[in-house]
Chain A
Amino acid sequence: MARVQFTKHLIRFFPKLRDGEFAGGTVADLVRAIDDAHPGLGGYIVDDRGALRVHVNIFLDDELVKDRESLSDRVRRDTKVSIFQALSGG
C-alpha cells in the first residue's frame, strides 16, 4: 500500500477525497485503485488513453514519474506518491 497525497484542488470535484493508502505495483495500478475508491477521479488524472494529463504531475517520493504515457513506473510499499496539478497558465 502506497501513501498517496492529493492536491486540494481535486476536493472541489470529489469532496470526500482525503490522502490515503492505495494498492498498486505500478502508477497505472494505483490510478485504477484510486478510481475504484472514487469513481470518476481517474479521468481527472489520466486521459482516455490512460496517459497522464498534460497539466498533472505525479511524484514518487521526490521524483517526477518517468513514463507519462502508460504509467509503468514501479511503486514500492513505502513510496510516498503525490498527485498535484502542474503550474501552468497565466
Chain B
Amino acid sequence: MARNLVLGTKKGVLILRKGKRGWSAQPIQHPGLSVSFAFHDDRTDTLWAAFDHGHWGAKLSKSPNGGKKWQEVAPPRFPARAKLTPATKKKPTLRYIYVLAPGRKEEPKRLYVGTVPGGLFASDDNGTTFELCDPLWTHRTRDKWIQGGKDFDEPGLHSVVVDPRDAQHVYIGISAAGVFETRDGGASWEPRNKGTVAAFLPDQKSEVGQDPHFVMACAREPDVLWQQNHCGVYRTTNGGKTWTDIGQKKGVVGFGFAIAVDNADPARAWVVPATSDEKRYAKDGALCVARTDDGGKSWSVLRRGLPQENAFDVTYRHALDCRGDTVAFGTTTGNLYVSDDRGERWKCVGSNFPPIMSVRFASG
C-alpha cells in the first residue's frame, strides 16, 4: 500500500505520510512559494520541486534527504541558438516548468524537464546540467504548435513517457501540438495523433495542433498509452499509431485534465471528469472519478466520499496518481482525496490546502 504522497501546491511542497491514524501532512516545505510540479525520484531518493515565482521566473530545487535541506539547481535554459519559432527572430525564454520525469531505472541520472514554451530538456547528471532537444524544438511542424494549457501564449510540454524496455523510445505530449514519438533517443520525432480530434481547429484531424492534456503508458505493456485530451479521452494499443476515442457519448467522461493508468493492468485507468471546457469545474457541481477496467469500453463513476453538491473543484493534469490499489487526487480548491480500493470509497485527507498543482506517490 502506498504510504507517501508529494504535493506541489501554490504555497509550497506538502509531504503526506500514512500512519496508523491515516494520512497526515508534514510541515510545508518552501512555504509561500508557488510550486508547479513536485515529485520524489525513487531511483535516487531525491525530492524535486519546480517553482513558478511570480516575480523571479521558473526555478528548480532538489532535496536528497526527504526535504530536510533543499538545494537550488540551475533551471534549464534555452540556448542562444534557439529561436522562438522558425518564422521569427524572437528568442525563447523559460516561462514555466511544467513537468519533471525520471528516465528508466537503469539510468538513474537521466531526468527530463518539460517546459513552457514547449521544450524538452534532458539531463544525464541528475539535474546538474540540461540540454534542449533540438530536433523536437525545430520540428518541421513547429509553426503549427499553438498555445494551450497554462496561461501563456506559447505551447507547453507537460508529458514525458519513457519506454521501460528501451531508453531511446520516448513519447511526449504538448498542449497544443499533440503527442510525438522518438525511437532514436530524440534525434527524430513523429507526430502520433491519428484518431484524436481538435474541435477548436478548422481541420479537426490535423496532424498537429491537438491538445492532449496528459499522456501516460501502462508500465507492463508500454504500447498501451492513454490520454485525457481537451476533446475527450483516448487510448492506443499500438504505440500511438492510432488512437481510439473511449469517452462517453452520454455520460461524464469527456473533458478533464488528468489521467492515471494502472501500471500492471493495461485495461485500467482513472480520470476526474469536469464540465467542458468553457466552465471548468466538477461536473454538475458533483465531484466524481471515473474508472475503466476494460480499456475504456465502459466506465464506473465513483462518488462515495466525494462532495455531491456545490463542488467547484478541478483536478489539474499532474494532480491524479495511483500506486497499486491506492489512488489520490488534489484539486484547485485545495482538497485532497485518497482511496485505498481503486476509487470505490474516497476519504478527504485535507480540505484547506492551497490550490494543488501536482500529486505524486513516493516510495519509502
Contact = CB atoms under 8 A, between A and B. Distances in A.
Interface stretch (B13-21, B54-62, B196-204, B236-244): B54-62
Interface stretch (A16-24, A44-52, A59-67, A71-79): A44-52
Nearest to B78: A48
Contacts of A51: 93
Interface in B42-84: 53-57, 59, 72, 74-75, 77-78
Contacts of B55: 9, 44, 53, 55-56, 85-86, 88
Given A13-B72, A40-B72, A40-B74, A48 B56 contact: no
Contacts of A13: 56, 72
A48 B94 contact: yes
Interface residues on B, range: 10 to 19
Nearest to A89: B54
A48 B72 contact: no
Interface in A7-56: 9-10, 13, 40, 43-45, 47-49, 51, 53, 55-56
A48 B119 CA distance: 14
Nearest to B84: A49
B91 interface: yes
B12 to A, nearest CB: 13
B354 interface: no
A88 B54 contact: yes
17 contacts: A9-B55, A10-B56, A13-B56, A40-B72, A40-B74, A43-B59, A43-B75, A44-B53, A44-B57, A48-B77, A48-B92, A48-B93, A48-B94, A49-B92, A53-B56, A55-B54, A89-B54
Interface of A: 9-10, 13, 40, 43-45, 47-49, 51, 53, 55-56, 85-86, 88-89
Contacts of B93: 47-49, 51
Nearest to B94: A48
Contacts of B56: 10, 13, 43-45, 53, 56
B55 to A, nearest CB: 4
Nearest to A86: B55
A27 to B, nearest CB: 17
Contact of A49 (B53, B75, B91): B91
Given A44-B55, A85-B55, 19 more contacts: A9-B55, A10-B56, A13-B72, A40-B72, A43-B56, A43-B59, A43-B75, A44-B53, A44-B57, A45-B56, A48-B78, A48-B91, A48-B93, A48-B94, A49-B91, A49-B92, A49-B93, A51-B93, A53-B55
